[in-house]
Amino acid sequence: MKPTRALAIAFGALLLTWVAQAAVGYLQVGRLEPVLNEETNLTVPPVPSGLAHTGARVFASQGCLECHSLSARGPKDSADLTRGWGQRRSVARDYLFRDPAMLGTARIGPDLSNIGARMPEGDKLMQHLYDPRLLKKNSTCPTHPWLFVKKPAGPKAEPDALQVSPDGWHQLLPSYHAKALVAYLQSLNANYALPEAPLK
Amino acid sequence: MNRSRLPQGSTAALVLILGSILASLVGAGLQLLANTQLLVPSLDRLIPMAWFNYGRLAPASQFLLSYGWLGSGLLGVLLILAPRFSGIAFRYGRLLFGGALLWQLAILSGFTQILLEGSSGLIGMPQPRFVSILLILSFLVLGTGLTRGLGRSWKSGPLLPRLYLLLALLAFPLGLGSAEALLRGTVTPGSVQIITQLLWHSFHQHLWLAPLGIALIFQLLPTLTGRAATSLNLGLLAWIATALFGGWLGTVRASDGPIPSWMQSTGVVASILMAFVAIGNGLLVQNLTEGRWEEIRRTVALRFLSVGAWSYAATYILLAFLSLPWVRPVMVFTVAWPALFEVFHFLFLGCVLAGSVYALLPVGREMGWPNSSALTWHFWCTTLGAAAAASGLLLAGSFQGLALSDAGVPTSTLASYLRPFLFVVIFAQFFWLVGQIAFASVLIASLLRLFPTAAPMAVFRNPTVIRPASIGHLHG
């Protein structure tokens, strides 16, 4: 084989792979648009708030993705949906406004694509982040105490201090990163139907 | 030793190989630490620091192992090998040296960034953007050097190694460059971002790392056994198929989910075809090594390369199995995938890299290998360790997969299915690390000429031969 022919074949094969996946993928799922939810008169999926957007990066940087996926799988009677990990399967449109868009490749822990529906309360999520065993005795989800600032408790607690204290005379204040991460987790809630994915 | 007599590019190769060994030791050590945390989750309470968390250690060690250990090491041995394809010696040795240093800088900064600031969350690309840019810049220098080694006319010299090297040299900058541009350069819709991540994942594993390994196998096995690959047509077909299908294999990492289903199906078909490609290449390897068991047993480089070549076939057969339509949905989010990468990185690429270092490092350098028992330690600890770790993960993954697909199994107990196997995996990975430390010490001692006697061709000390008589004795 001549070098020029080898080069042409190799380059052609790589180009074909790229075009078929990235370009055709763009045409097929990249141009999806949000749809109008008749009940609420809002478009879905919702555009995440700036804080939630930052939270996605915190989620990535804390490595939550090493143990948690962000994709619930169908059909209706699938193990994922039966477990309550979602009301419907995750589809391409759900990821429209995600940046970075994360799918996850591991499930050491449960899927979190709908954690905002399962644990809507901000304070619960904060406690889970600080130390998951505050809520569940034997949880094996890691602690993330560096996302909180420990301050001596004054005569009255600061408004966003956690409802638990590590030792009784300190209070825990969530850092900006913790607030962003919790906003992101709360935004993970696909409680609406999409044309291609009805609720179960 | 007279430095000016060393071939150009040889210092660059040495920097890459030494950097690679260091990365393998640190990367495997951190991987061990990360897996220990899965086994003993309370460990993170001991050192409550972000960098000690599983979420940081896991991506940092993966980055070190794939970009640092394998990427750097394979580039290093190829810098020694490529001029011999064409007989064209490198020029601009200083430039290559600079490129090699830049690659190490990229690895070091990527590693510290992931550990201290966290992963980007992108599959196959945990490093920050500037690290990708450093890697591409360094690659432009090293890759241009390697391209020169391919030569202008391919009338004489080996064909298959050149073809695979060419494929890899195209795939790395194209894949990483365009993935960076799409994922962090422009506003790409999230759904396309996921496709792009899996696309780069495929390019990185199957069109960059794997072809580098195959190029080394097809160049060094014939040289060491003194045979030529028998069927060039089969080899060519396998190469074209690798170029065509390699980039599709990542899509099987998604099951259902946001990737168009035709892409997932194509990925499944491509994975199954790649198993046949690997078997085809395996037949060529079989012809190269058949009847040479005595040499394979004696010669360190040949034994590592043979294990690497067989593990190449095993990797793609396992990948095809994990992609089968009734296996994939069960195994997709389990540690069966880390098992595959254990075979792919540690048995296939790791053994090919070790064999190549043994075969190539003495080239043009007045150095040799001692006849030390550390060679035996290196071989057995790394191969048995990696094989045991892969088996442990595969078994763990199977139980995990079955538990995940049974809604009756409570969510909070899912992780407990991994625990019994993690013992085996951690022990096995420790074993691998011991073997790699043996390798590092032989290498450093040989470079420093600490051994009184050394030969350019490393051989194992007294390979144990099981004679029929001793078997009879055991049974008697």
For strands A35-37 and A42-44, give the pairing. Answer: antiparallel
Q: Where are the beta strands (DSSP E) in chain A?
A: 35-37, 42-44, 148-152, 170-174
Q: What percent of chain A has pLDDT over 70?
A: 100
- A86: β partners: none
**Do residues A110 and A68 lie in contact, with contact meaning Cβ atoms separated by under 8 Å?**
yes
pLDDT band, residue A195 (cuts 50/70/90): very high
Residue B2's pLDDT is what? 45
Interface of A with B in 59-78 (CB under 8 A): 59-67, 69, 71, 73-74
> Taking CB atoms and an 8 Å cutoff, what residues of chain A touch B41?
140, 142
Q: What angle do CA B297, B299, B300 make, to 5 degrees?
A: 100
- Asked if pLDDT for residue B1 goes beyond 50, the answer is no
Residue B5's pLDDT is what? 60
Instruction: Spell out the domain ranges in chain A.
Output: 1-31, 35-142+177-187
For strands A42-44 and A148-152, give the pairing. Answer: unpaired
- Asked if pLDDT for residue B331 goes beyond 50, the answer is yes
> Taking CB atoms and an 8 Å cutoff, what residues of chain B touch A64?
55
**Do residues B343 and B368 lie in contact, with contact meaning Cβ atoms separated by under 8 Å?**
no
Q: How far is the alpha carbon of B404 from chain A, nearest alpha carbon, in Å?
A: 7
Separation in Å, CA B92 to CA A114, B105, B144, B360: 56, 20, 11, 21
The mean pLDDT of A49-68, rounded to a whole number, is 97
Which pLDDT tens digit goes with each residue over B353-391? 999 999 999 987 888 999 899 999 999 999 999 999 999
Which pLDDT tens digit goes with each residue over B392-409? 999 999 999 999 999 999
**Do residues B230 and B221 lie in contact, with contact meaning Cβ atoms separated by under 8 Å?**
no
- The answer to which of B112-121, B139-148, B391-400 has the lowest mean pLDDT is B139-148
Q: How many helices (H) and strands (E) would you count in chain A? A: 7, 4
Report which DSSP code applies to A46. Answer: P
- The answer to which of B115-119, B222-226, B381-385, B389-393 has the lowest mean pLDDT is B222-226
Q: Do A98 and B243 touch (CB under 8 A)?
A: no
Buried b (16+ CB within 10 A) or exposed e, B319-344: bbbbbeeeebbbbbbbbbbbbbbbbb
Q: What angle do CA B28, B34, B40 make, to 5 degrees?
A: 135
Residue predicted with more confidence, B472 or B122: B122
> Taking CB atoms and an 8 Å cutoff, what residues of chain A touch B253?
105
The set of long-range contacts for A77-82, using a CB threshold of 8 Å and a minimum separation of 24, is A79/B404, A79/B405, A79/B406, A79/B407, A80/A111, A81/A200, A82/B407
- Asked if pLDDT for residue B473 goes beyond 60, the answer is no
Which pLDDT tens digit goes with each residue over B277-301? 999 999 999 999 998 899 999 999 9
Instruction: Spell out the domain ranges in chain B.
Output: 3-474
The mean pLDDT of B436-441, rounded to a whole number, is 98
**Do residues A112 and A90 lie in contact, with contact meaning Cβ atoms separated by under 8 Å?**
no
> Taking CB atoms and an 8 Å cutoff, what residues of chain A touch B149?
none
Q: Nearest CA to B114 among B101, B129, B102, B104?
A: B129
The mean pLDDT of B123-137, rounded to a whole number, is 97
Residue B217's pLDDT is what? 97
Query: Is residue A22 less than 8 Å (CB to CB) from chain B?
Result: yes
- Asked if pLDDT for residue B468 goes beyond 60, the answer is no
> Taking CB atoms and an 8 Å cutoff, what residues of chain B touch A196?
none
Which pLDDT tens digit goes with each residue over A61-89? 999 999 999 999 988 899 999 999 999 99
Interface of A with B in 82-101 (CB under 8 A): 82-83, 89-101
Residue B379's pLDDT is what? 98
Residue predicted with more confidence, B466 or B96: B96
Q: Do B48 and A69 touch (CB under 8 A)?
A: no
Chain B residue with the nearest C-alpha to that of A96? B190
The mean pLDDT of B132-140, rounded to a whole number, is 97
Q: Do A73 and B118 touch (CB under 8 A)?
A: no
Query: How many Cβ pairs within 8 Å bridge chains A and B?
Result: 224
> Taking CB atoms and an 8 Å cutoff, what residues of chain A touch B203?
14
C-alpha torsion sign, points A121, A122, A123, A128: positive
> Taking CB atoms and an 8 Å cutoff, what residues of chain A touch B55?
62-67, 142
Q: What percent of chain B has pLDDT over 70?
A: 96
Residue with tokens 């019994």: B420
Residue A123's pLDDT is what? 94
- Asked if pLDDT for residue B467 goes beyond 80, the answer is no
Report which DSSP code applies to A65. Answer: G
Residue A39's pLDDT is what? 85
Separation in Å, CA A17 to CA A5, B203, B215, B242, B261: 18, 10, 22, 12, 16
Separation in Å, CA B119 to CA A64, B40, B53, B62: 10, 23, 12, 11
- Asked if pLDDT for residue B341 goes beyond 70, the answer is yes
Q: Do A61 and B199 touch (CB under 8 A)?
A: no
- The answer to which of A96-110, A185-199, B454-468 has the lowest mean pLDDT is B454-468
The mean pLDDT of B161-169, rounded to a whole number, is 96
Chain A residue with the nearest C-alpha to that of B252? A105
Q: Which CATH number fits domain A35-142+177-187: 3.90.180.10, 1.20.1090.10, 1.10.3720.10, 1.10.760.10?
A: 1.10.760.10
Q: Do A17 and B247 touch (CB under 8 A)?
A: yes
- Asked if pLDDT for residue B463 goes beyond 70, the answer is no
The mean pLDDT of B110-119, rounded to a whole number, is 97
Which pLDDT tens digit goes with each residue over A154-191? 877 788 999 888 888 889 999 999 999 999 999 999 99
The mean pLDDT of B4-21, rounded to a whole number, is 87
* Residue of B56, B186, B191 for testing the chain A interface, max A β-carbons within 10 Å: B191
Torsion of CA B377, B378, B380, B381, to 10 degrees: 90
Residue B464's pLDDT is what? 52
> Taking CB atoms and an 8 Å cutoff, what residues of chain A touch B411?
83, 110
Residue predicted with more confidence, A151 or B465: A151
Residue B29's pLDDT is what? 98
CATH second-level architecture of B3-474?
Up-down Bundle (1.20)
Interface of A with B in 139-198 (CB under 8 A): 139-140, 142-146
* Residue of B245, B333, B341, B402 for testing the chain A interface, max A β-carbons within 10 Å: B333
- Asked if pLDDT for residue B260 goes beyond 50, the answer is yes
- The rounded distance, in Å, linking the Cα atoms of A21 and A53 is 26
pLDDT band, residue B466 (cuts 50/70/90): very low
What ipTM did this prediction achieve?
A: 0.96
Which pLDDT tens digit goes with each residue over A5-28? 999 999 999 999 999 999 999 999
- Asked if pLDDT for residue B143 goes beyond 50, the answer is yes
